[in-house]
Amino acid sequence: MTPPKIKCPKCNSNESVEFRGKRYLMYPAGCLMIIGPFVSIIHQATTPIDYECTKCELRFGKRSTVAKVTMCAMILFLLYVISTTFFNTPNPF
């Protein structure tokens, strides 16, 4: 599967940008046991994808739309948990 053409933020060239892969590697088994598989899957889904422009030698990362939506959902969920835990608000559900 070929990644879509990405423009370089510095020189605006889309022909010299090369795909470099995910920024972070997969978790070792010990980390999966500590943080849980659900959290690690969400974290891996939201990690940026690295690209490199061969023209201006800039390395940059981009997140997909799914990753951005997932990050927003995680932040909203954490705000909900914090507000119901520490501010003693009633549960709306």
pLDDT of 89 strictly over 80: no
Number of H helices, E strands in the chain: 3, 3
Which sign does the torsion angle of CA 19, 20, 24, 30 carry?
A: positive
Residues 5-29: pLDDT tens digits?
788 888 888 788 887 877 666 666 6
Residues 29-79: pLDDT tens digits?
666 677 777 777 777 777 788 888 888 888 888 887 888 888 888 889 888
Nearest alpha-carbon partner for 9 in 61, 66, 49 = 61
